[in-house]
Amino acid sequence: MSSNQQTGILESNAPDKTHEVNIRSSPVIPPHSHDNIVHVGHSGDRVEILDRNHPQGDTHLWYKVRYIKQQNIQGWVREDVIQLDPTPPTPSPQSTLTVRTNTVFVHFPEDSSKLPDEDKVSVSVGTTYNLSAYKLENQYYRFTLANGQLIKNKNTWYVFKDHVQIS
């Protein structure tokens, strides 16, 4: 990923709150809506923006995206299932996140009691992680783990800002 590549976070628009986001082979939803799905993503997945397209007759803008950590996964998503990052997170190769009180990391900033187990993880006081990036968003830090570290196969998480210290 180039340093000026725009990134975004997938956000489900499903009424059943499954947190799934369909990645499609082309910027269109065909009559049989599952025909062009190449991958099922999840709310909170980080992607880079490769291209934009506003197909004739469609009221939505589409983005061609590629997963940052799994670059073989790419496809198209509609503007209503992605939140673009206005600015990239602060690079922080020397930053360390230290947990100050027992807490829960969540895959998107939402009450952890409402999330499925795969989108949250309990973390004990004193646990530390090296970060490659972080950004304060409202009451949460969005952070990306450094050096290919993953928790539950994900490298980007949110945590309530008062529960951790970043240095």
pLDDT digits (tens, 9 = 90+) for 38-82: 999 988 888 988 888 888 888 888 999 998 878 788 999 998 888
> 90-166 adopts what CATH topology?
SH3 type barrels. (2.30.30)
> 7-84 adopts what CATH topology?
SH3 type barrels. (2.30.30)
* Residue 58 pLDDT: 82
- Would you say the pTM of this structure is higher than 0.85? no
Q: Map out the domains of the chain as residue ranges.
A: 7-84, 90-166
Q: Above pLDDT 90, what percent of the chain?
A: 29
* Residue 89 pLDDT: 54
Residue 20 near residue 41, CB atoms below 8 Å: yes
Mean pLDDT, the chain, rounded, equals 84
- Quickly list H helices, the chain: none
Do 7-84 and 90-166 have matching folds?
yes
* CA 82 centroid distance within chain: 9
